[in-house]
Amino acid sequence: MTLALVNGRILRDSGWVEDQVVLIEGARIQQIVPSNSRWSADETFDMLGQTLLPGFIDVQVNGGGGVLFNDDPSVDSIREIGRAHRRFGTTGYLPTLISDDLHVVSRAVRAAQDAIEIGVPGVLGIHIEGPFLNEARKGVHDETKLRWLDEDALGLLTSLRGGKTLVTLAPERTTPQIIRKLGDSGVIVSAGHTNGTYEEIRTALDHGLTGFTHLFNAMSQLTGREPGAVGAALDDDGSWCGIIVDGHHVDPVVLRIAMRSKRRDRFMLVTDAMPTVGAPNKSFRLQGRPISVYDNMLVDEQGRLAGSDIDMATAVRNSLEMLEVDLPQASRMASLYPATFLGLDYELGRIEPGYRADLVLVDAGINVLETWIGGQRAT
């Protein structure tokens, strides 16, 4: 079965192209040919002059569609969260578990494994955010769940097969040797909810740390005499930084300064989305505490930020205005860069032959019109 996407503006590696046809066979892009050449397809989809981008990849999705992954770490939850987010162009995601007991972490890993094996659309693995965090930077994470990361948890954190595991931890709450073992086992290690010094974070980077979870939020800050985790992130050219571009988590001026301090291809958009995304109900409970939207922010009863109520299409749209980047750059921050961070850029994040047909069609306002995951229209 061959699908032809015609009559659209397409973002390729070389830039914008028009008058080209994207031919999809099965789950992958077979060819991209001039529209006036000889081609055939079983089905044709007219894009009506709108814009085709690589599908968005979100590595931090706590919930969506009224579902919180922690409440029910199951295949059904993963499926519903993915369904909510693909309406906003997310074609790949990591369901994210907030700090919890290790038996809950184990259930979440098994659910991700099962979801991958049965082919739940879009699921790429799992993000385990805690419980190996620093209570001094816990944010809304439950302090009673936090713990030191030792050898006993390594088997659990490295148990997922067939998908990507991202672990957010505070480097000062484990050892460089354990970080090395995680990395050597294929786990992607990111620093977050950390009060580590520059030297502690630098040591972690030297032992396999490759990312920073929601840069600036819940981490030691850059100051005149102590660069902290933020300073380490911006000083290290090779590591990736997830950023929440909602105008609340980080001031846009600060993000623009950060992006002038480091390679732009190391910044990726994340949502840190909660159950309110794609749901009419704008409140929920997080481990017994009420969370609700106030002035476009998700906050707990004490006014602390508790994830976000934004989706990836909104993050891309915000980036155009707040970060003053163009659409190709914002698109790469939402697709190619997270794919590279996950080690999946050989098949995701581009509209090129051989790549998976994970695609999103948007209008001039970055409103999502259609989404394809593995060549299938996602509804």
* Cα–Cα–Cα angle for 201, 189, 297, rounded to 5 degrees: 85
Q: Is residue 272 flagged as an active site residue?
A: yes
pLDDT digits (tens, 9 = 90+) for 249-293: 999 999 999 999 999 999 999 999 999 999 999 999 999 999 999
Burial class (CB within 10 angstroms; exposed 0-12, middle 13-18, buried 19+) of 294: exposed
pLDDT digits (tens, 9 = 90+) for 271-281: 999 999 999 99
**Do 111 and 201 belong to one domain?**
yes
Distance, CA of 53 to chain centre: 16
**Do 141 and 256 belong to one domain?**
yes
- Look up the domain containing 30 and give its range: 2-53+353-377
Number of DSSP helices (H) and strands (E) in the chain, helices first: 10, 23
Predicted pLDDT of residue 223? 97
Beta bridge partners of 368: 362
Of 64, 104, 93, the C-alpha closest to 80 is 64
- Give the pLDDT means over successive 10-residue stretches in the chain (379 positions): 97 97 98 96 97 98 98 98 98 98 98 98 98 97 97 97 97 98 98 98 98 98 97 98 97 98 97 97 94 92 94 98 98 98 98 98 98 94
**Do 242 and 297 belong to one domain?**
yes
**Do 333 and 304 belong to one domain?**
yes
Predicted pLDDT of residue 311? 98
Residue 315: which residues within 8 A CB-CB, separation 6 or more? 244, 245, 246, 269, 270, 271, 334
CATH number for the domain spanning 220: value is: 3.20.20.140
CATH number for the domain spanning 362: value is: 2.30.40.10
Does the residue 149 lie in any domain? yes
Total domains, the chain? 2
Does the residue 59 lie in any domain? no
Q: Give the CA distances from residue 144 to residues 133, 137, 282, in Å, rounded to whole numbers and listed in that order.
A: 11, 14, 26
Count of CB atoms within 10 A of residue 40's CB?
A: 8
Predicted pLDDT of residue 293? 93
**Do 262 and 357 belong to one domain?**
no
**Do 73 and 31 belong to one domain?**
no
**Do 358 and 264 belong to one domain?**
no
**Do 22 and 163 belong to one domain?**
no
Q: What is the pTM of this model?
A: 0.98
Does the residue 347 lie in any domain? no
Q: Which one is catalytic: 100, 236, 272, 309?
A: 272
**Do 34 and 183 belong to one domain?**
no
**Do 224 and 330 belong to one domain?**
yes
